[in-house]
């Protein structure tokens, strides 16, 4: 259980592509392939590829299901708490402004995002 530093971006860019990096890491697909898929999804719907409705639709079509974290304490349930509660499986986890991949109790990101508050997650583990 813990943090793995990884940047799937081929040019090492650290901002504005967390959706692409998280999906790439979680699905095992290349950053380029995910980027192209999301661009096409965005083109189809005439919207930005990193807008929630675009990448959420993409994940749904890929067989992922979204779950919302109960709103009992929205700022106190962290990514570290999430991996304790979900020790096995592959997840794409978000806080509203950042998205990170979780694989078998490891959160994989370009920085240590373990203290981010979790609002929702996507998985095929259902």
Ordered per-residue pLDDT tens for the chain, 126 residues: 899 999 999 999 888 999 999 999 999 999 999 999 999 999 999 999 989 999 999 999 999 999 999 888 867 899 999 999 999 999 999 998 999 999 999 999 999 999 999 999 999 987
Q: Look up the pTM and report it.
A: 0.94
Domain of 78 in residue numbering reads as 2-123
Number of domains in the chain: 1
Q: How far apart are CA 23 and CA 31, in angstroms?
A: 8
Rounded-to-integer distance, Cα 41 and Cα 74, Å? 30
Other CB atoms within a 10 A radius of the CB of residue 43 amount to 11
Which among 22, 88, 12 has a CA at the least distance from the CA of 56? 22
């Amino acid at each position: 259980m813990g943090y793995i530093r990884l940047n799937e971006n081929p040019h090492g860019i650290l901002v504005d592509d967390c959706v692409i990096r998280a999906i790439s890491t979680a699905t095992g697909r290349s950053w380029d392939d995910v980027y192209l898929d999301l661009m096409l999804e965005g083109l189809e719907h005439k919207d930005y590829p990193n807008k929630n409705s675009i990448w959420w639709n993409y994940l749904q079509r890929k067989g992922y299901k979204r779950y919302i974290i109960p709103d009992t304490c929205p700022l106190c349930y962290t990514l570290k708490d999430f991996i304790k509660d979900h020790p096995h499986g592959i997840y794409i986890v978000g806080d509203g402004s950042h998205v990170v991949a979780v694989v078998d109790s490891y959160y994989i990101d370009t920085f240590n995002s373990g203290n981010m508050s979790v609002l929702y997650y996507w998985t095929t583990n259902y």
